[in-house]
Amino acid sequence: MKTDLTDTTASKINKALVLGRRAIGTPAVGMVLTLVIVTDEENAYDALRAASDAAHEHPSRTLVVIKRVSRSPRDRTQSRLDAEVRLGTDAGTGETIVLRLYGDVVDHAQSVVLPLLLPDAPVVVWWPVNAPLHPARDPLGALAQRRVTDTYACEDPVGELVARADAYTPGDTDLSWTRITPWRSMLAAALDQVDCTVQGVEVEGEEYNPSCELLAMWLADRLEVPVRRTASGGPGLTAVRMETDCGPVVLDRADGSLATLSIKGQPARAVALKRRETAELIAEELRRLDPDDTYASALRYGVDRLAAPDAPGGTDAGDGSGSADASGDGAGGSGRSGGSGDSADDAAAAEGAAGDDAKAPAKARRKTPAKRTVAK
């Protein structure tokens, strides 16, 4: 069931929701959260389709906020709110309200959204594109427990990671981080199978890919070993090679779908490691609404700490040694020996080790693409 409302108000939209639920025979509200999508007209369809697919796992009320720019100066002074209310099969397993804002109301989107939030339910705000510089200080972001951005959609993804680190607030997350969850899970499981000490890591993937940078920073932060970042033709992440005192541990994915895990002394194994759709990424983020401390630790490690070695085409991060008998998981496992990856002491130790690295004159390094981005 779909209802179009022109030049309407939040109270009329709520009334249309009640009447629509009665008309389709489901007067009770069974949603578990409110998902607010802030986007433009061009990206609204894809974002809404991803949210509808994710709603099969997380029934939610989805509010799509589209800020329209009026063509003439006179129209810009006239505030108007148009809404499209979708219920039943048109909205998947939840409710969908598409809000189009015109005129002065564009600058007060939170006043429109606030009356439409589900009572006593968590709020998640997602910016598929054009995320604010400081999501937690955005009027809409201030309403949410979780704020989801996507640096992959930015023109300068690595530079955007630096901005995200500077503006990080507990509850912030990024889909570029969500994309590497299977990689982190697989690497942690691989290290559980060997009783060796990790001496160095190489992360191979597309240049200026934020997921590759985040994986490199996570490994450097958790393992406290040098991490070399090299570029490839993609797609996305293509390989992670860990050098240990027992031999190399390699996770190689050349085609973006099927990867090969190679451990010295064991037969090579094929593992499923496909590139996931946006709907799967959003569904994963909606499973946990608490702050992601592991993401915060990796992000704060800093893209600017990735420095280039003598050989062209790569970057190094971190220093020290890591033990392979540590364990971790996709949501935040540790790569160090005998410690939790989320503890404040470990994070402080990682920062201290990295700081000592930066001061060592014997390890003067050239700037990487990430470093050059920071310089800009």
Confidence of residue 110 (pLDDT cuts 50, 70, 90): very high
**DSSP, residue by residue, 165-185:** HHT--TTEEEHHHHTTHHHHH
Q: How far is it, in rounded angstroms, from Cα 292 to Cα 227?
A: 23
Confidence of residue 375 (pLDDT cuts 50, 70, 90): very low
Q: CB under 8 Å to 218, separation ≥6 — which residues?
A: 180, 184, 294, 298, 301
The answer for 22, left when phi > 0, alpha when psi is -120 to 50, beta otherwise, is: alpha
Q: What angle do CA 210, 221, 127 make, to 5 degrees?
A: 35
Q: CB under 8 Å to 154, separation ≥6 — which residues?
A: 160
Q: Indicate if the pLDDT at residue 115 is higher than 50.
A: yes
Q: Which residue has the tokens 């033990």?
A: 323
The pLDDT value given to residue 349: 40
What are the structural domain ranges in the chain?
2-149, 181-282+294-375
Q: What is the pLDDT of residues 148-176, one digit of tens each?
A: 999 998 888 888 998 999 999 999 999 99
pTM of the full structure:
0.78
> 302: number of CA atoms within 13 Å, CB side?
14
The pLDDT value given to residue 362: 35
Q: How far is it, in rounded angstroms, from Cα 70 to Cα 342?
A: 48
Q: Indicate if the pLDDT at residue 360 is higher than 70.
A: no
